[in-house]
Structure 1
Amino acid sequence: MAGGPSGNGGGISTASTAWAIVMSAFAAFGGILFGYDTGTIGGVIAMQDWLDVFGTFDSTGQLGQSTKGMYLPTKDKSLVVSILSAGTFFGALLANPMADYVGRKRGIVASCVVFSLGVGLQLDTQWATFVVGRVIAGLGVGLVSCLVPMYQSECAPKNIRGLIVGLYQLAITIGALLAAVVLNATKAEQSHSAWRTPIAVQFAWAFILGGGMLLLPESPRYLLHKGHVDRARRAMGRLTSRPADSVEVEAECTEITLALEDEKAHGSGSYADCFKNNRSKNGLRTWTGIALQAWQQLTGINFIFYFGTSFFQQAGITSPSPFIITIIADVVNTAMTIIGVNLIDKVGRRRLLLIGATGMMVCEYIIAIVGVTAGQTASDGSVNLTAQRVLIAFVCVYIAFFATSWGPVAWVITGEIFPLNIRAKGMSLSVASNWLWNFAIGYATPYLVDSSTKGEPNGVATANLHVKVFFIWGSTCLGCLVFTYFFIPETKGLSLEQIDLLYKESSIRNSEKHRRQMIAANETYAHHEKVTASHDESSDDGKPADNVPNTNV
Structure 2
Amino acid sequence: MISGFVAFGGILFGYDTGTISGILAMPYWATNFSTGYRDTTGQLNVTASQSSAIVSILSAGTFFGALGAAPMGDIIGRRWGLIASNGVFVLGVILQTIAVSIPPFLAGRFFAGLGVGLISALVPLYQSETAPKWIRGFIVGSYQFAITIGLLLASVINNATHHRNDSGSYRIPIAVQFAWSIILVVGMLILPETPRYLIKRNDTKAAARSLARLRRLPEDHESIHQELVEIQANHQFEVAQGQSQSSYLDCFRGNLLKRLLTGCLLQGLQQLTGINFIFYYGTQFFKNSGFQNEFVITLITNCVNVGSTIPGLYAIDRWGRRPVLLLGAVGMAVSQLLVAVLGTTTTSQDPQGIIIVENAAAQKAAIAFICLYIFFFAASWGPIAWVVTGEIFPLKTRAKSLSMTTATNWLLNWALSFATPYLVNYGDGNANLQSKIFFIWFGCCFICIGFVYFMIYETKGLTLEEVDELYLEKNVDDYPIFAGPDMLPSS
TM-score by length of 1: 0.85
Following superposition, the deviation at residue 515 of structure 1 comes to 7.0
What are the Cα deviations for residues 206-228 of structure 1, in whole angstroms up to 9, with x where unaligned?
00001111000110000001111
User: 1:271: how far off?
Assistant: 1.2
1:344 corresponding residue in structure 2: 316
**Using the alignment, how far apart are the partners of 1:299 and 1:435 within structure 2?**
14
Which of the residues 422, 426, 431 maps onto 1:463? 431
- Does residue 191 of structure 1 match 2:166? yes
Work out the CA distance in 2 between the residues paired with 1:334 and 1:98.
31
Of 415, 432, 451, the residue aligned with 1:440 is 415
Distance in 2, Cα, partners of 1:285 & 1:518: 21
Matches within 5 A, 1:363-374: 363-374=335-346
Alignment partner, residue 23 of structure 2: 44
Per-residue deviation, 1:378: 8.3
- Alignment match of 2:456 (pick from 481, 488, 492): 488
2:460 partner letter = K
Aligned partners of 2:327, 2:91: CA distance in 1, in Å?
40
The match for 2:368 among 378, 385, 393 is 393
What CA distance in whole angstroms lies between the structure 1 residues aligned with 2:350 and 2:477? 51
Give CA-to-partner distance per residue, 1:121-178, whole Å, 9 cap, x none. Answer: 0011132111011100001100110100011011111111101111000000000101
The one-letter amino acid of 1:507's match is V
Whole-Å separation in 1 of the counterparts to 2:432 and 2:349: 15
Asked if 1:415 corresponds to 2:384, the answer is no
| Cα distance between partner residues in 2 of 1:122 and 1:145 | 20
Q: Does 1:204 align with 2:179?
A: yes
Assess, with a 3 A threshold, how the Cα gap between structure 1 residues 220 and 515 changes in structure 2: closer, same or farther: farther
Q: Does 1:474 align with 2:474?
A: no
Closer/same/farther in 2, CA of residues 513 and 304 from structure 1, 3 Å limit: closer
Structure 2's unaligned 5+ residue stretches are none
What residue is the counterpart of 1:8 in the other structure?
none
Question: 2: distance between equivalents of 1:300 and 1:486?
Answer: 22
Query: Out of 66, 73, 97, which is 1:92 matched to?
Result: 66
Structure 2 CA distance for aligned equivalents of residues 387 and 55 of structure 1: 35
CA distance in 2, matches of 1:167, 1:481: 24
Assess, with a 3 A threshold, how the Cα gap between structure 1 residues 243 and 122 changes in structure 2: closer, same or farther: same
- Give the match for residue 119 of structure 2: 144
**1:13 alignment counterpart:** none
Structure 2 counterparts to residues 262-301 of structure 1, below 5 A: 262-264=237-239, 265=241, 267=243, 268-277=245-254, 281-301=255-275
Q: CA deviation at 1:508?
A: 4.0
> Which AA in structure 1 matches 2:139?
I
Q: Tell me whether 1:402 sits opposite 2:381 in the alignment.
A: no
Is 1:255 paired with 2:227? no
Is the 8 Å Cα contact of residues 449 and 469 (structure 1) preserved in structure 2?
A: yes
Letter in 2 for 1:231: A
Q: How does 1:21-60 map to 2 (within 5 A)?
A: 22-58=1-37
Aligned to 2:209: 234
Alignment partners' CA distance in 2, 1:284 and 1:493: 22
Match of 1:174 among 149, 152, 158: 149
Aligned equivalents of 2:487, 2:462: Cα separation in 1: 8
Change (3 A) 1:188 1:23: same
> In the TM superposition, what whole-angstrom CA distance separates every residue of 1:185-218 from its partner, at most 9, and x where no partner exists?
1011110010000000000000000111100011
Sequence identity, in percent? 50
Aligned-partner residue type, residue 75 of structure 1? S
Shift of 1:64: 5.2
Is contact 2:348-2:357 (8 Å) kept? no
Q: Work out the CA distance in 2 between the residues paired with 1:352 and 1:260.
A: 32
Distance in 1 separating the partners of 2:482 and 2:348: 49
Q: Secondary structure at the match of 2:163?
A: coil
> 1:47-86 residue pairs with structure 2 within 5 A?
47-58=26-37, 63=39, 65=41, 69-86=43-60
Distance of aligned partners of 1:382 and 1:408 in 2 relative to their CA distance in 1, 3 Å threshold = closer
Match of 1:106 among 62, 77, 80: 80
Contact in 2 for aligned 1:58/1:64 (Cα 8 Å): no
Partner of residue 311, structure 1:
285
Q: Give the 3-state SS of the residue equivalent to 1:308 in structure 2.
A: helix
Letter matched to residue 102 of structure 2: W
Q: Contact 1:25/1:165 (CA < 8 Å) preserved in 2?
A: no
Is the CA contact (8 Å cut-off) linking 2:268 and 2:412 kept in structure 1? yes
Q: Tell me which amino acid in the other structure corresponds to 1:141.
A: V
Who is 1:324 aligned against?
296
- Deviation of 1:481 after TM superposition, in Å, equals 1.0
Look up the match of 2:94. 120
Letter in 2 for 1:438: N
Q: Which amino acid aligns with 1:238?
A: R
Please tell me whether the aligned partners of residues 66 and 118 of structure 2 are also in contact (alpha carbons under 8 angstroms).
yes
Question: Normalising by the residue count of structure 2, what TM-score does the alignment of the two structures yield?
Answer: 0.95
Determine whether 1:498 maps to 2:466: yes
1:513 offset after TM fit, Å?
Answer: 7.4
- The one-letter amino acid of 1:328's match is I
- 2:130 is the alignment partner of 1:155: yes
- Tell me which structure has the larger Cα radius of gyration: 1
Tell me if the contact between 2:140 and 2:387 (Cα under 8 Å) persists in the aligned partners. Answer: yes
Aligned to 1:189, the other structure's residue is in SS state: coil
Indicate conservation of the 8 Å contact 2:346/2:357, yes or no: no
Q: Distance in 2 between matches of 1:333 and 1:126?
A: 33
SS at match of 1:125: coil
> Structure 1 residues 237, 445: CA separation in 2 closer, same or farther (over 3 Å shift)?
same
Deviation of residue 462 (structure 1)?
1.1
Provide the aligned C-alpha RMSD in A: 1.7
Residues 78 and 193 in structure 2, CA contact (< 8 A), matched pair in contact too:
yes
Paired position in structure 1 for 2:476: 507
C-alpha change, 1:471 and 1:121, in structure 2 (3 Å) is: same
Which AA in structure 1 matches 2:445? Answer: C
**Alpha-carbon shift at residue 58 of structure 1 (Å):** 4.3
Q: Which residue of 2 aligns with 1:361?
A: 333
Deviation at 1:24, TM superposition (A): 4.0
- C-alpha contact 2:5 2:183 (8 A) present in aligned 1: no
Amino acid at match of 1:510: Y
How far 1:23 sits from its partner (Å)? 2.0
Q: Is the 8 A contact 1:263 1:419 kept in 2?
A: no
Structure 2 residue 194 is the aligned partner of structure 1 residue 219: yes
Instruction: Describe the SS at the equivalent of 1:420.
Output: coil
